Amino acid sequence: MAGHSNYITPEGAKKLRTELTWLWKEERPRVTQGVADAAAEGDRSENAEYIYGKKRLREIDRRIRFLTQRLDALTVVDAPPPATDKVFFGAWVRLENEEGDEVVYRVVGPDETDAAKGHISLDSPMGKSLLGRREGDEVHVRRPAGEAVFTVLEVGYQPLD
């Protein structure tokens, strides 16, 4: 992942390892058995289950290779930085936008981004704008719709209520 950070939280690393284990020990054997069963039915050229199974097996193998290489390249960051009043990797940040609405984000690596949970990549425009900021700082973020301005209300390294 050229241009992407190689940092990940312990929770994120565990999630990737769990996915890798599941693919290798459960999903791949199940699909392999399905392909073998479909192959035993005869003509493979028109056997949709066989063709789909082989395609799915290639997808699984690709994902296993990716996860194995990615996990080897990642650095797990499991301790807060010395200056916990500033936004660094792993920080939870409460912001107020121009309309007065509050949002909470966690700055994580690109492998952990999840908009529904408020997890943003430190490589994203918002993530880059937040790094090094502290309570009271104004943050300007360039977006396709124009610049947005936020005020940092709170920084922490545990989930914010």
pLDDT-derived band of residue 54, with 50, 70 and 90 as boundaries? very high
| Higher pLDDT, residue 23 or 49 | 23
pLDDT per residue as tens digits for the range 79-126: 888 889 999 999 999 999 999 999 999 999 999 999 999 999 999 999
pTM value is 0.83
Tens digits of residue pLDDT in 10-35: 999 999 999 999 999 999 999 999 99
Nearest to 74 by CA among 3, 140, 148, 9: 9
- Is pLDDT at 160 greater than 80 in this prediction? yes
pLDDT on residue 3: 58
Mean pLDDT, rounded, for 35-63: 90
**Residue 46: predicted pLDDT:** 80
- The percentage of the chain sitting over the pLDDT mark of 70, rounded to a whole number, equals 98
For 135-153, what is the mean pLDDT?
94
Q: Which two tokens stand for residue 90?
A: 């792993």
Residue 145 clears pLDDT 90, i.e. is over it: no
Domains annotated on the chain, with CATH:
7-76 (1.10.287.180), 92-156 (3.10.50.30)
Mean per-residue pLDDT, 47-52: 90
Instruction: Inform me whether the pLDDT recorded for 52 exceeds 80.
Output: yes
The pairing of beta strand 75-76 with beta strand 92-96: unpaired
